[in-house]
Amino acid sequence: MEDFLLKVEEATLKIKDKVSSLPKIGIVLGSGLGMLVDEFEEKCFIDYASIPHFPTTTVVGHSGKFVLGEIEQQPVIAMQGRFHLYEGYKPMDVTLPIYVMKELGVEKLIVTNAAGGINKLFNVGDFMLIEDHINLMGINPLVGVNFENLGERFVDMSNTYSKDLKRIALDTAKDLNINLHKGVYVGVLGPSYETPAEIRMLKIIGGDAVGMSTIPEVIVARYAQMEVLGISCITNMAAGILEKPLSHKEVMETANRVKPQFCSFIKSILSSLKKHDDMKV
């Protein structure tokens, strides 16, 4: 475990060498949603391959870069692509970037993902505010020795997704006339899509959308005392909801189609966050 903390330190130092203003906000961009970085000003790209101890992204739609810059007049750091357990990585590999963000000073984390819609009220291309999640991945990234300097052994997950950030997202969606659904995200291991029978089960236990990411990152973010906002893009309907096969191609096509709305939504949330934080000063 000491080796892991050293990895976090070395990766953090590599990034600090390239930035002049450390970010308070981190963003994880899901499959096909990396285009948000086009909106950054004074941006700096750092390939994961150049960062010590970082894994390699292997999934289409995940560019594999940290992007630092300014958006809505505040410094941010974004993951243009994430790591997944189904790629064969260990939980600590998948969540290493979140620990690094914490060391860089990130206090608020916006996680986004492409998800399959379980709720029949959803349509492909809709957005869902993650109100809560169900972890069916079979892992918890906090298993092992506890890092006393980062967080408590037993992490309270009662309010995993920040009430303040959820309110800001809902108000922003209303201002932009975006129909933002609210729901529960179910995380599964993948990489195979779920069967229709599994989707029926997930619906029974309270799931509204399903995906293969996000939850390990969120658990670590809460462990590290970050506020978390989660937004899913419903890029396809889950197995059995519609009579059609599932494909990653549809995920990417949908993400590309909603690009303008997604970018406008996240930018407006960041603008509202700045106003909200300025009022506290």
Cis amide linkage into residue 191, ω under 30° from 0:
yes
What SS3 state is found at 101? helix
Q: Which of 119, 236, 268, 272 is catalytic?
A: 236
How far apart CA 207 and CA 147 sit, in angstroms, is 32
Q: Which of 11, 79, 92, 114 is catalytic?
A: 114
Q: Which of 78, 128, 212, 226 is catalytic?
A: 212
Token pair for 6: 């050293």
Catalytic residue flag (residue 212): yes
Q: How many CB atoms lie within 10 A of CB 64?
A: 19
**Residues 6 or more apart in contact with residue 233 via CB below 8 angstroms:** 30, 33, 112, 113, 114, 115, 125, 126, 127, 254, 255, 258, 262
How far apart CA 230 and CA 266 sit, in angstroms, is 11
Token pair for 173: 């969606």
Q: Which of 113, 119, 213, 232 is catalytic?
A: 213
Catalytic residue flag (residue 78): no
Catalytic residue flag (residue 31): yes
Catalytic residue flag (residue 276): no
Q: Which of 53, 63, 70, 86 is catalytic?
A: 86
Q: Which of 11, 31, 99, 194 is catalytic?
A: 31
**DSSP conformation letters of 150-203:** T--SS---TT-S-HHHHHHHHHHHHHTT--EEEEEEEEE--SSPPPHHHHHHHH
Catalytic residue flag (residue 181): no
Token pair for 153: 């052994």
Catalytic residue flag (residue 243): no
Catalytic residue flag (residue 53): no
Token pair for 98: 């979140």
Helix segments in 54-187, DSSP class H:
91-104, 163-175
Q: Which of 84, 113, 137, 227 is catalytic?
A: 84
Q: Which of 11, 48, 62, 101 is catalytic?
A: 62
Q: Which of 72, 87, 103, 194 is catalytic?
A: 87
Catalytic residue flag (residue 72): no
Q: 264 — phi, psi (to 5°)? A: -65, -40
Catalytic residue flag (residue 86): yes
Helix segments in the chain, DSSP class H:
2-16, 91-104, 163-175, 196-204, 215-223, 248-257, 259-280
Catalytic residue flag (residue 213): yes
**Residues designated catalytic:** 31, 62, 84, 86-87, 114, 212-213, 236, 248
